[in-house]
Homo-oligomer: A and B are copies of this chain.
Amino acid sequence: MSKYWSKLVSELKPYIPGEQPGNKPGEQQVIKLNTNENPYPPSPAVAEVLRHFDIDQLRQYPDPESRDLIAALAAYYHLDANQVFVGNGSDEVLAHAFQAFFKQDDALLFADISYSFYPVYCGLYQIDYRQVALDQAFQIDFDGYRNANGGIILANPNAPTGIALELAAIRQLLADNPESVVLIDEAYVDFGADSACQLIPEFPNLLVVQTFSKSRNLAGIRLGFALGQSELIEGLQRVKNSFNSYPVDSLTNAIGLAALADESYFQQCCQRIIASRESLGRELESLGFEVYPSSSNFVFVSHPEKAAETLYLELKSAGILVRYFNQARIDNCLRITIGSEGECDALLAALKKILR
């Protein structure tokens, strides 16, 4: 606390990201299965960008509108350029969306178990919210979203459960809430869920948010984007241009463009991770774990005999980081990122030892 802080800032409960231990040369190499990063390096096209980048460009500001990148994203998703917005990671895009659309008289609705940044944004922008409980199987209870609201945000697949929604259910939700913005947070969609972006022409109240951090192997460049009809995109631009005119730097623009163009590498990495997820899931079940059905690049699991927190700590001692949430309803679960084949094997070996 400080007398210099605004009241708002004194009351904030900031988000706590997963540990980033850093893996410096000489230190023990940690196996990071805690922040849902891609186990594979970015497309080789990214290395080419760095090799050929003319650093003289860096003395100038980036294009404040990221026109080239937006044109490429628009083409990729069969949209117009004015239906695409980019930002400094999807966290920034989400923050702007909360301020642009969810600061309303009625409460924002989201699931009680979902991305834990949502209530943090509500604190930052003083947005009323109401959490709707997932059912016992951690599925979305759509009846809970039929009340008056100032917006709805759903992660699809949900985090940290990994469970995907049917497109038909999202369509119904959009139709049932024509006066509210429905934001579908698709950080993990490329690992097996159906994107709602095909519904954009039909629904002016739909905003889809995606990221280059997961399926595009680029958490390190901070690039996220939103897709929606132009009036929603314009709302985001108004916030962005009142906050930071140049949120996406010149290297990020160029790298994002190169990664997006390498479709075959993208597909390959996604398929490889999906295959590892299915095989890891089976192995975990054979060790007695309950494994929730995942359409993402992580699995959400619990063990009937060993507390999640204990498993988390014992794995950590063994040099393997997974994510444990000390939160009601899920405090006996672990979220485990799908690593490389070798990392999955190391995880299973460590678990076998712990559970022996």
Q: Which of A49-57, A278-286, A348-356 contacts B (4 or more CB under 8 A)?
A: A49-57
Contact of A88 among B53, B61, B95, B244 (CB under 8 A): B244
Q: Is A82 an interface residue (CB 8 A)?
A: no
Q: Tell me the count of chain A residues lying within 8 A, CB to CB, of chain B.
A: 85
Cβ of A6 and Cβ of B88 under 8 Å apart?
no
A231 at the interface (CB under 8 A from B): yes
Nearest chain B CB to A103's CB is how many angstroms away? Answer: 4
Q: Is A221 within 8 A of B6, CB to CB? A: no
**Residue numbers in B under 8 Å from A124 (CB-CB):** 99, 239, 242-243
Bound together, the chains give a CA A64 to CA B222 distance in angstroms of 11
Nearest CB of B to A60, in Å? 5
Name the residue in A20, A32, A120 with the highest tally of chain B Cβ atoms < 10 Å from its Cβ. Answer: A20
Q: A39-B59, A59-B41, A99-B8 are in contact. Are A64 and B242 (CB under 8 A)?
A: no
The interface residues of chain B lying within 8 Å CB-to-CB of A169 are none
Q: How far is the CA of A242 from the CA of B59 in the complex (A)?
A: 30
Q: A3 contacts B179, CB within 8 Å?
A: yes
CA distance A217 to B57 in the complex (A): 10
For A103, give the chain B residue with the smallest CB separation. Answer: B6
Among A135-143, A157-165, A184-192, A248-256, the stretch in contact with B: A248-256
A129 within 8 A of B: no
- Contact between A232 and B15 (Cβ–Cβ < 8 Å)? no
The 8 A CB mask of A61-95 against B (1 = contact, 0 = none) is 11110000000000000000000000011011001
Indicate if A100 sits at the interface (CB-CB under 8 A).
yes
Q: Enumerate chain B residues within 8 angstroms of A51, measured Cβ to Cβ.
A: 50-51
- Per-position binary interface string of chain A over residues 13-40, scored 1 when its CB falls under 8 Å from any chain B CB and 0 otherwise: 1111100101000000000100101111
Chain B residues near A220: list those with CB within 8 A.
57-62, 249-251
The listed residue (B2, B32, B59, B241) touching A60 by CB distance below 8 A is B32
Known: A6-B103, A250-B220. A14 touches B60 (CB 8 A): no
Contact B64 A20 (CB under 8 A): yes
Are A238 and B4 in touch, CB under 8 angstroms?
A: no
User: What are 13 A-B interface contacts by the 8 Å CB criterion?
Assistant: A4-B101, A4-B205, A6-B104, A9-B99, A17-B245, A17-B246, A38-B59, A41-B58, A42-B55, A88-B247, A95-B243, A124-B243, A222-B247
